[in-house]
């Protein structure tokens, strides 16, 4: 499966409103329907955030369950959930949905930093130690979100302490103001720091979406698309999750690669079979 690419669709995020992205899914029914459409188009994985009744990010475990039940009723796409969907949530609230919905993958944001200009994105060592251990106990694969190089070194500490397990899976996040820039140079540098037995993926925020996607493919990585990261298909044209997935698949095919099916993605990422 050397030419297989795991394609993740990040459907919603925590903050982008419909006023900015008219096609962004907000309710459990909308999110589940987009997940099904992205799977039908060819996506391997869907990454899920939830929104409350005001449209803001929430860690409400019942909304996660309703959405995931709807998805699992219709398709076998790999389920990946956030643990950072609401800056108002306590550490325990950021984790309590994991045992409740049993996703296959969950995000592990590997450090704190100033997410400009909004505030501090807090992920304390105490929280991350507990989060990693909880995922290990539940058989959930951490998707280690890397916003800057120091976070990769920190993960080696969590690995040594038994809060993470090898091989690790990394998601390189480029273009967040306060973290690594969305340049090929930063992508190459971050990739060079990853443990050799790791799997990895990358994406660029906003206008950096396509350059980072193409560079990641050229470097042998997996890719992520979706309205969480980029709301325009091209200048002046609003994207849908499906349109971003379909374009990514065309690019993957043109690169003489193929998108992994959900079961192939499970094998490539070493996921616990459900």
Question: Which pair of tokens denotes residue 140?
Answer: 């959930």
As a whole number, mean pLDDT of residues 225-238 equals 97
Q: Find the CATH number of the domain harbouring 35.
A: 3.20.20.70
Verdict on whether the full-model pTM lies above 0.85? yes
**pLDDT mean across residues, the chain:** 97
Number of domains in the chain: 1
Q: Which domain holds residue 156?
A: 4-269
Looking at residue 2, its pLDDT comes to: 85
Looking at residue 50, its pLDDT comes to: 98
pLDDT band at 274 (very low <50, low <70, confident <90, very high): low
Query: Which neighbouring-strand residues pair with 237?
Result: 234
**Measured between alpha carbons, how far is residue 127 from residues 93, 134, 147, 208, 256 in Å?**
11, 10, 17, 31, 41
| Residue 131 within any structural domain of the chain | yes
Q: Which of 79, 64, 65, 77 is nearest to 36 (CA)?
A: 77
Looking at residue 273, its pLDDT comes to: 66
| Residue 274 within any structural domain of the chain | no
Q: Are 213 and 5 in contact (CB under 8 A)?
A: no
| Residue 58 within any structural domain of the chain | yes
């Amino acid at each position: 499966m050397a030419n297989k690419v795991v394609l993740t669709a990040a459907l919603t995020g925590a903050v982008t409103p419909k006023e900015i992205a008219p096609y962004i899914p907000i309710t459990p029914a909308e999110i589940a329907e987009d997940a099904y459409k992205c799977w039908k188009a060819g996506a391997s994985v869907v990454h899920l955030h939830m929104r409350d009744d005001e449209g803001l990010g929430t860690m409400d475990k019942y909304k996660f369950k309703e959405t995931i039940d709807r998805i699992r009723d219709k398709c076998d796409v790999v389920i990946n959930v956030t643990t950072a969907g609401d800056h108002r949530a306590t550490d325990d609230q950021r984790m309590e949905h994991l045992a409740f919905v049993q996703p296959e993958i969950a995000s592990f944001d590997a450090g704190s930093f100033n997410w400009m200009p909004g505030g501090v994105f807090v992920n304390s060592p105490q929280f991350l130690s507990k989060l990693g251990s909880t995922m290990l106990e539940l058989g959930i694969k951490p998707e280690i979100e890397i916003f800057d190089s120091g976070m990769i070194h920190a993960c080696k500490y969590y690995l040594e302490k038994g809060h993470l397990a090898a091989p690790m899976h990394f998601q390189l996040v480029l273009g967040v103001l306060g973290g690594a820039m969305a340049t090929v140079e930063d992508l190459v540098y971050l990739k060079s720091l990853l443990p050799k037995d790791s799997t990895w993926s990358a994406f660029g925020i906003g206008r950096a979406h396509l350059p980072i996607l193409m560079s990641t493919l050229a470097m042998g990585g997996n890719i992520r698309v979706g309205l969480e990261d980029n709301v325009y298909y091209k200048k002046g044209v609003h994207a849908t999750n499906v349109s971003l997935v379909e374009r990514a698949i065309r690019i993957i095919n043109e690169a003489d690669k193929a998108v992994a099916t959900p079961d192939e993605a499970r094998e490539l990422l070493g996921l616990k079979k459900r």
